[in-house]
C-alpha cells in the first residue's frame, strides 16, 4: 500500500461490504488509523506488516494484511507469519488473490506457517466468526459475513484453534453449582486473598498490576504474546475512558496482586449509532446512551498459576453476579476462551453458561501440506 489515501480506503472498505448488514458494528475510524499506523502502534516495535487491497473497476473489493510478529515467534519458538483484517466481496477469486498475496509476502520472509486472521495478535481482535452470526459483536470483536469461512477453507487453510464466547444472565446465579459459592467464601479466611474493586483514581497502577497478572496467567496459552511496556501504556490510555469500577476487580495477598478481572460494558451498543465517528455529534449519542447499555464483555479474568487452587476465580464469578444485581447490565458474554482451556470452560458450565459464538483461527503450513484438525 503506497499512500495515506489508500490506507483510508483499506480502513473504510467494511462500510461498503456491510452496508446492508444490521449486525455489523462500525469501528471508530480514528482508532483503526492509530492501530494500523506503524509509527503510533507499539506492536510495530517487534513486528512488520504489509496491507493489500483488491480492486475492481477502480473500487476496492477486498483487503488483507500480512504480518510477522517477531516477539510471538521468540516467545513460542515458532516461525509463523500471520494474516489479518480479511474482508472480501462474495467472490472466491477475489479472496484467493488476497490470501495468495499474504502468503507470498510471508514466504518471501521465510515463514513456515500462515496463521490467522489476527488483527494483529491474540491481544487484539482475532479469529473468524463461524457460529453466532445472529448476534451483534461485542466491544473489541468482529462480525464477519458467513461466506468468509467457505472462502478460507477453499484456499487450503485448516482449523488451528477455536475461540469460544459463553453467555451468562443474572438469572443463571440460581443455577450455579454450590461449590463455587463455597470456594468464594473461603478465599480470604483460608488463603488470605482479598478481592476488591479496581480504583480508577490510581488507574495506571491498577492497569500495570492487571497486566502483570495477564502476562503470568496467559503465558502458556496458545499464541499468547506478552505485552511490552509500550503496549501496556497504550492499553491503559484506551481502557481508562471505558473502565467501570463496578466491573473490575483485583485479588491481593498482602501487597502482591495474584489475580485480576476486567469486564467492560458493551460500548458497541453505542458505537453502532455513531458510524465510526465521535465528532462532531457522536459524543452526544455516546453520553446519552451509556446508561442504556445492558450487557458486558469479560475482557480478561486470570489468576497467577500458584494461586489458581485458592478459589479466586470463583470469587470473581460471584462478584460478576453481584454487580449484575446492582447495575443496568444484566447479562454478558465471557471470553473469548480457548477451546482447549478446560478449566475455564468447565467454570462456564458450572455457572450454567451457554456457548453463543465461535471464532476460528486458521493455519496453512507453507510447505503446502494441510494441517490436521485439532
Which DSSP string corresponds to 99-159? HHHHHHHHHHTT-SEEEE-BSSSTTSSBSEEEE-TTS---TT-----TTHHHHHHHHT-EE
Are residues 183 and 142 part of one domain? no
Are residues 212 and 83 part of one domain? no
Are residues 109 and 242 part of one domain? no
Residues constituting the chain? 374
| Mean pLDDT, residues 6-12 | 96
What does the alpha-carbon distance between residue 120 and residue 42 come to, in Å, rounded to a whole number?
A: 12
| Mean pLDDT, residues 39-43 | 95
Are residues 87 and 175 part of one domain? no
Residue 370 domain-assigned (yes or no): no
Are residues 303 and 207 part of one domain? yes
- Sign of torsion over alpha carbons 266, 218, 184, 197: negative
Q: Which domain holds residue 326?
A: 167-357
Residue 373 domain-assigned (yes or no): no
CATH code at position 331: 3.40.630.30
**What Rg value do the Cα atoms of the chain yield, rounded?**
21
Residue 211 domain-assigned (yes or no): yes
Residue 372 domain-assigned (yes or no): no
The total number of structural domains in the chain stands at 2
Residue 85 has pLDDT above 50, yes or no: yes
Residue 44 domain-assigned (yes or no): yes
C-beta separation of 86 from 63 below 8 A = yes
Sole residue written with cell 468468509: 148
Are residues 126 and 215 part of one domain? no
Task: State percent of the chain over pLDDT 70.
Answer: 95
Burial pattern 348-363, b for ≥16 Cβ within 10 A else e, equals bebbbbebbbbbbbbb
For position 287, what pLDDT does the model report? 60
Are residues 353 and 248 part of one domain? yes
Peptide bond into 117 cis (omega under 30): yes
Are residues 330 and 318 part of one domain? yes
What does the alpha-carbon distance between residue 351 and residue 337 come to, in Å, rounded to a whole number?
A: 15
pLDDT in tens, 334-355: 989 999 999 889 999 999 999 9
CA dihedral of residues 178, 221, 339, 185 (deg, nearest 10): 10
Are residues 328 and 180 part of one domain? yes
Sole residue written with cell 492499553: 235
For position 374, what pLDDT does the model report? 43
For position 321, what pLDDT does the model report? 95
Are residues 179 and 143 part of one domain? no
Residues contacting residue 43 through CB under 8 Å, at least 6 positions apart:
69, 120, 121, 231
Other Cβ atoms within 10 Å of 338 Cβ, number: 20
User: Residue 268 is placed in which grid cell?
Assistant: 458497541
Are residues 141 and 19 part of one domain? yes
Residue 111 domain-assigned (yes or no): yes
Q: How confident is the model at residue 241 (pLDDT cuts 50, 70, 90)?
A: confident
Are residues 137 and 105 part of one domain? yes
Amino acid at each position: 500500500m503506497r499512500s495515506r489515501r489508500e490506507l483510508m480506503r483499506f480502513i473504510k472498505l467494511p462500510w461498503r461490504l456491510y452496508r446492508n448488514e444490521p449486525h455489523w458494528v462500525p469501528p471508530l475510524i480514528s482508532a483503526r488509523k492509530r492501530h494500523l499506523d506503524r509509527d503510533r502502534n507499539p506492536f510495530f516495535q517487534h513486528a512488520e506488516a504489509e496491507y493489500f487491497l483488491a480492486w475492481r473497476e477502480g473500487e476496492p473489493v477486498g483487503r488483507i494484511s500480512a504480518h510477522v510478529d517477531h516477539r510471538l515467534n521468540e516467545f513460542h519458538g515458532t516461525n509463523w507469519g500471520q494474516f489479518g483484517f480479511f474482508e472480501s466481496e462474495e467472490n472466491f477469486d477475489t479472496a484467493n488473490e488476497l490470501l495468495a498475496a499474504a502468503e507470498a509476502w510471508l514466504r518471501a520472509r521465510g515463514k513456515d506457517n500462515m496463521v490467522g486472521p489476527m488483527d494483529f495478535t491474540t491481544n487484539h481482535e482475532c479469529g473468524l466468526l463461524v457460529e453466532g452470526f445472529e448476534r451483534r459483536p461485542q466491544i473489541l470483536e468482529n462480525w464477519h459475513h458467513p461466506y468468509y469461512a467457505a472462502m478460507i477453507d477453499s484456499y487450503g487453510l485448516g482449523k488451528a484453534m477455536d475461540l469460544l464466547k459463553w453467555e451468562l444472565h443474572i438469572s443463571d446465579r440460581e443455577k450455579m453449582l454450590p461449590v463455587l459459592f463455597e470456594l468464594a467464601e473461603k478465599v480470604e479466611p483460608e488463603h488470605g486473598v482479598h478481592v476488591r474493586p479496581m480504583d480508577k483514581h490510581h488507574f495506571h497502577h491498577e492497569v500495570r498490576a492487571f497486566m502483570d497478572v495477564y502476562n503470568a496467567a496467559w503465558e502458556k496459552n496458545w499464541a499468547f504474546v506478552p505485552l511490552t511496556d509500550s503496549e501496556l501504556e497504550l492499553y491503559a490510555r484506551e481502557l481508562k475512558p471505558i473502565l467501570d469500577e463496578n466491573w473490575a476487580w483485583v485479588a491481593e495477598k498482602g501487597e502482591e496482586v495474584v489475580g485480576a478481572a476486567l469486564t467492560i460494558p458493551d460500548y458497541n451498543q453505542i458505537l453502532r449509532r455513531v458510524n465510526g465517528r465521535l465528532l462532531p455529534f457522536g459524543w452526544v449519542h455516546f453520553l446519552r446512551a451509556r446508561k442504556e447499555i445492558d450487557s458486558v464483555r469479560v475482557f480478561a479474568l486470570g489468576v497467577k498459576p500458584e494461586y489458581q487452587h485458592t478459589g479466586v476465580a470463583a470469587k470473581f464469578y460471584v462478584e460478576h453476579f453481584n454487580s449484575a444485581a446492582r447495575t443496568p447490565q444484566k447479562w454478558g458474554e465471557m471470553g473469548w476462551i480457548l477451546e482447549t482451556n478446560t478449566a475455564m470452560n468447565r467454570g462456564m458450565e458450572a455457572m450454567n453458561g451457554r456457548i453463543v459464538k465461535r471464532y476460528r483461527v486458521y493455519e496453512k503450513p507453507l510447505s503446502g501440506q494441510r494441517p490436521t484438525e485439532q
